[in-house]
Structure 1
């Protein structure tokens, strides 16, 4: 269980990343209407979890609890363990559609060793499943699915 200090430090780090992009803040399309209409890729929906020192991938914002208005801040925290480091070049974000859509280049300007902080993401209304893959400097890999539910598209 993470300590209060590590949680506060992680949230502060995400805030610093996010605020650092505010000078050039403008809503950007993360997923297009055409991409959202493609069939979902349901392969491998179940994830196997075990005790490991692999990096932790945490979906910070907008969160998994409710639908969110568009545009919204997309914040994903990447936490290495055991003295390892996250190499931003190892991070891959895939939209799970048929065929899969690599969103990594769209998110690259918002990527750092501590995570992804996109101030204003635009996606169509509905639920979108993203797969985040990362490898740390010790070669340990982690993967997580993130579910983003958008209530309505921008006008």
Structure 2
């Protein structure tokens, strides 16, 4: 009887570790088909601000899904990034809140999703953060996903 338990535990461990490596569905096909917001333009932050900064690191070019999505957070003046304040929105009509899908990958240093699944297309995403002093920071970037 004891010999049967060990292989079962090993098999359960392999199944669990395989599930942990499953791709993260960031944007669904249905969400990708929603119309873009009217007049939406990706903007760049200008001027000297003390609020936190969100830097879009990768993917740097149009790549096939799944993509390795990396965002870096930077705070100023001794403040720290508040990971609980991070909000991620897919800009469509209506906007799609991606925060719950991204939350497991949020750290004070940024967001790192090894295998984000997205349909082919271009997607504008807005990230809002706050630092420990309550100052806000926002960034809008475009994810370009090539057909498989």
TM-score, normalization by structure 2: 0.81
Partner of 2:51: 54
Q: Could you tell me how far 1:46 is from its partner in structure 2?
A: 6.0
CA contact (8 A) 2:25 2:116 kept: yes
Q: Could you tell me how far 1:26 is from its partner in structure 2?
A: 2.3
Instruction: Provide the rounded CA distance (Å) in 2 between the counterparts of 1:78 and 1:43.
Output: 27
Aligned residue pairs, count: 130
Change (3 A) 1:90 1:33: same
CA contact (8 A) 1:25 1:119 kept: no
Q: Could you tell me how far 1:43 is from its partner in structure 2?
A: 4.7
> Alignment partner for residue 74 of structure 2, among 74, 79, 97?
79
1:28 aligned onto 2:20 = no
Q: Following TM superposition, where does structure 1 have runs of at least 4 consecutive aligned residues deviating by more than 6 angstroms?
A: none
Partner of 2:108: 113
CA contact (8 A) 2:54 2:73 kept: yes
Instruction: Provide the rounded CA distance (Å) in 1 between the counterparts of 2:21 and 2:110.
Output: 18
CA contact (8 A) 1:53 1:140 kept: yes
Q: Structure 2: any 5+ residue segments left out of the alignment?
A: 1-18
Instruction: Provide the rounded CA distance (Å) in 1 between the counterparts of 2:55 and 2:33.
Output: 27
Please identify the structure whose Cα radius of gyration is greater. Answer: 2
Q: Structure 1: any 5+ residue segments left out of the alignment?
A: 1-22
CA contact (8 A) 1:93 1:133 kept: yes
TM-score, normalization by structure 1: 0.78
Q: Could you tell me how far 1:72 is from its partner in structure 2?
A: 1.2
Instruction: Provide the rounded CA distance (Å) in 2 between the counterparts of 1:91 and 1:137.
Output: 12
CA contact (8 A) 2:42 2:142 kept: no
Partner of 1:4: none
CA RMSD, 1 decimal: 1.9
Classify the secondary structure of the residue corresponding to 1:52.
coil
1:88 aligned onto 2:88 = no
